[in-house]
Amino acid sequence: MGAKTNAPKRAAAPSRVTLASLAARVDALEAEVAALRAKAAPKRLDAAAVAALGTTLLGAIGELDARQRFGGLVPLPDLRRELRARNVEASDADVSDALLALERDFKIDLSIAQSPTTVADRGSGIERPGRGLLYYVTRR
C-alpha cells in the first residue's frame, strides 16, 4: 500500500491571456451592457401616440386652469398629477415630449420658472439647456 499524502491538489495552470481572448471578452461585455440598456430604457411613444397625448394634454390644461383658477399659467407638476388622476398611461418623458411637440406646433407656450431653486417640485419641470427650467404651460 502506498503512503497517503495530505499535499494540496495543484490547481490547473491558468490559461494564457491573449489579445484575441481579451477582445472576445470585451465584445461579450459590450453586448451584455447593450442588452441591459435596451431592457431598462423606457419605451417611447410614436408620433401618432404623442399627437393623441397632445390632445389629452390640451383638454387637461384648459380644465385644470378653469378649476384651479391659475389665470392661464398652469404649473407642470399640477398637470402631471391631473394626468395621473385621469389614469393617462404616459410616462413623464412622454408627457414632456408631447408638451414640447405642442409648443413647436404653436398650440401652447412653456414658460420658465423665474427662480428654479425655489420651486416646489423641480423634477416635474422640463430642463432645457439654454432656456432653463420649463415649469409652466399656457394654452394659445
Residue numbers of the chain with a pLDDT score lower than 70: 1-14, 41-42
Per DSSP, 116 falls in state G
pLDDT at 42: 66
Residues 124 and 131: their CA atoms lie apart, in Å, by 16
Span 123-135, pLDDT tens digits: 999 999 999 999 9
pLDDT at 84: 93
User: Which domains are present in the chain?
Assistant: 47-139 (1.10.10)
Positive or negative, the CA dihedral 34, 38, 44, 47 is positive
